[in-house]
Each structure stands twice: as C-alpha cells, then as structure tokens.
Amino acid sequence: MTERIRQIFFDTETTGIGRGHRILELGAVEAIDRQLTNNTFHQIINPEREIDEVAMKIHGITHEMVKDKPLFVDVVEDFLAYIEGAEVIIHNAAFDVKMVNEELQLLSQEGGKNYGKINEYCQITDSLSLARKVLKSGKHNLDALCDYFHVDRSAREKHSAVLDCSLLFHVYIALTSGQRELFAEGKKHTSSKEVAQPVRDYQGIVLPSVVVLPEEHQSHHDFMQRLSRD
C-alpha cells in the first residue's frame, strides 16, 4: 500500500520582528496527496506583550483581540501533535522557525517542559527558497507568486495566517507541478508558442501548465548521460 503524503502549510503572525517579539497567531492547513483537507489548525494567542503599530497594520490583530486568548503554553501540545511527522511548508521558513523555536525555548527557560525545536517534530521545507530556484527573476513574496500563478488573492486585505497558508498551498502546487511533467515518459513536448490546456485543481482553481521545451529536454538527457558514465 502506497504511503500517503501529508503536508502542512504553516504561517505565523507576530507582534513584530526583532529580538523579544512573540507569536500571536498560528495558522496551518493540511494537504494529503496534494489535496487540501478540512483539517486546519488556527489559534490566536495572547503574546503577553504589546504589538508594534507597524505589525498591527499588516495583520490587523489588536490588543483587544488577544487579551483574553490562551497563551502559547496552552496550545503548544496541540500544535506539535498537529505537525508531527508531516512535511511542513513555510514561506520564508527561517523567520517562522525562529519564532516558534524561541517560544519553545522560553517555555523551557521558565521551568516548563523542554520541547526541543520544531524540526524535531517534522520536516521543514522553505517555499521561498524553492520559488527562487524555479523562478530565477522577479519578486518571490507570496503576493507576487499569487499574481504570477494566477492564484486569486482578492480576500487578502490583511495578512492572515490561515488565509496565507491556503494561498501558499496553491502557489506550491503550481511551483511543483512541473516536476511531474519533466520526467513523464512519452510526453509530447510543445514549443513555447503552443498554448497548453489549463489544469484545474479539485477546487476549480486554474493552475499553470509548465511545458518543457525541446532544448531543455535535450539538456536534461545529456546531463543524465553524463551521470551514467561517471
């Protein structure tokens, strides 16, 4: 029986950037075999500190919205159980991983349980690094990638962890859809002048068709030939 692929698309919102800032929102959506499920994780958190005005303008989360919410320590067990064993895909993973690890470390420093680091529970994939490899030029932030891949982001008036995760899922599917085409046997390769038929995911969103040009196919063939001789 083929093992099912479980991926979590994850994002945080924080009180700001820099030393001493805290997480105030955790958001994640689950995909099984590249299809979204209804299994999401979302929690607004009381960060136990003030929220920077600049950050507040970005995500719209105010002091009034967090003052009666649970602390990070109250949700950490559920969060780690949710991501455990999955591939966790994060756009600009270095920032979110740093923020989560600082929260985990703070719990240990305050005499609580030692939870270690987030990458001890899951595999981290940075979609920003992937986007920079796939798309050599242009901007690689989430808004720019949504525009490039024609992912509807009209609902994104403010940064929202769960909404951003959903958008990231569609961007990631578009970024990685060409991998299957590259190695498909017997696939007829079209020229850049030919228009491929649109591909839709299960929600009806149009995904780009990534076409391998003949010269690219030949370059890959030559590369594999060189590898076989080494």
Q: How many CB atoms lie within 10 A of CB 88?
A: 24
- Three-class SS of residue 201? coil
* Three-state SS at 161: helix
The 3 state secondary structure assigned to 106-149 is: HHHHCCCCCCCCHHHCCEEEEHHHHHHHHCCCCCCCHHHHHHHC
Does residue 170 carry a catalytic annotation? no
Tell me the C-alpha distance between 18 and 98, whole Å.
Answer: 11
The 3-state DSSP class for residue 192 equals coil
Enter the tokens of residue 16: 């700001």
Tokens 């720019």 sit on residue: 144
Q: Which of 59, 91, 140, 159 is catalytic?
A: 159
CA angle (100, 116, 86) in 5-degree steps: 70
Helix H or strand E segment including 203: none
Torsion angle (degrees, nearest 10) of CA 152, 180, 126, 147: -20
Catalytic residues: 159
